[in-house]
Amino acid sequence: MKILLTGGGTAGHAWPVIMVGRSLQKNKRVQLLYVGSRQGIEKKLSKDFQIPFKAILSGKRRTYFSLSNFWDLFKIFCGIIQAFFIILFFRPDVVFAKGGYVTVPIIFWVRFFKIPLVIHESDVVMGRANLWAANFARKICLGFPLEYYTQKLPVRKLIYTGIPVNPEFIQTSIKDEGRPKILITGGSQGSSKINNLISEILPELINRFEIWHLSGQRDFEKLQNLKNPYYHLFDFSYQMPKFMRDADLIISRAGASTLTEIAATGIPSIIIPLETAANEHQEANAQVFQKMNAAVVVSEKNLTANSLKTIIDHLMDDEKTRALLGHHAKSFFRPDAAEEIINTLFEVAKK
């Protein structure tokens, strides 16, 4: 069986595809091809995990005026031509699309070639690419339980699978003695807002705690000034599963994949959703955790460094609250997400 995987641009879109691909690699009767963007993180991840990869051009459709819209229209057109030849020669039995603008050229040809399509939406608010793809998809896999989705979606197509994560997140971790540990991350691209807040209170934090800080590439250099044995700075790291498992508290954005990784480890967290995220999807994701009492959710609008430190100190001094948050977060995790998606792909392909 030939399965074409597509989706990317950010780690949140790429990692679940990689996890599905890794599970499919165990089946020698399956041939894979991952189609992604030239600039997206999916190109590097595919190479690292030895999944065959083809890069195509992709463009973003902005809702505001920008000269880049005209250039991106050209890139979308070129991507559609590239996608035609990729599908023509690979001839997939089924397409799995994760979302993101890079999926558009592939999905454009799905009906023409009469190839069954399965899509996956991680966020509570479905992105524009997936909303369009939902019209052609045979099945729509969801990262959150169905009751949290307010958009009009075809119910007969929906299936709650959860979001695949790296199995390393659920490994047993033996915590060493020493200072309590805090992990700070703004996602694969980093968060300047979180980085700036943390840099203000960092000297006070490292007096009490050991800090792992994944800053993203953009702010990495300016944060390197502080040299301390209890402060560990990274722009990006494949050791994220270990960092999360070993942490006593996580400070993070509200990307759906990150929330699922937090749920997998059962670690308490402070969630700061990105206000400018498309369709306010991070706000919606965070609200799910807030309703479940699975995290402390804080709006970035009026958040100051001092108020963030107060929340950190309160949680780190209250072990029972942290244990409760972690327990509720763990209940959200679905360990068989990748297998559920793969079963759906096989079922759709056979039909």
Segment 238-254 mean pLDDT: 94
In this predicted structure, the answer to whether residue 50 has a pLDDT above a threshold of 80 is: yes
In this predicted structure, the answer to whether residue 187 has a pLDDT above a threshold of 80 is: no
The larger pLDDT score, comparing residue 11 to residue 43, is at 43
- The residues pairing with 250 across neighbouring beta strands, listed in sequence order, are 183, 269
pLDDT score at 63: 60
pLDDT score at 78: 93
Segment 227-241 mean pLDDT: 90
Domains belonging to the chain, first-starting first, are 2-163+334-350 (3.40.50.2000), 168-330 (3.40.50.2000)
pLDDT score at 189: 72
The interaxial angle of helices 305-316 and 319-330, nearest 10 deg, is 90
pLDDT score at 64: 59
Structure tokens at 335: 């360990």
pLDDT score at 144: 94
Task: List, as one string, the DSSP characters of 125-192.
Answer: SPPHHHHHHTTT-SEEEESS-GGG--S---GGGEEE------GGGGS---PPSSS-EEEEE--TT--H
pLDDT tens profile 263-310:
999 999 999 999 877 778 999 999 999 999 999 999 998 899 999 999
Q: How confident is the model at residue 225 (pLDDT cuts 50, 70, 90)?
A: confident
pLDDT score at 8: 85
pLDDT score at 66: 67
Structure tokens at 247: 């942490």
Segment 310-332 mean pLDDT: 96
pLDDT score at 65: 63
pLDDT score at 101: 87
In this predicted structure, the answer to whether residue 166 has a pLDDT above a threshold of 90 is: yes
pLDDT score at 222: 82
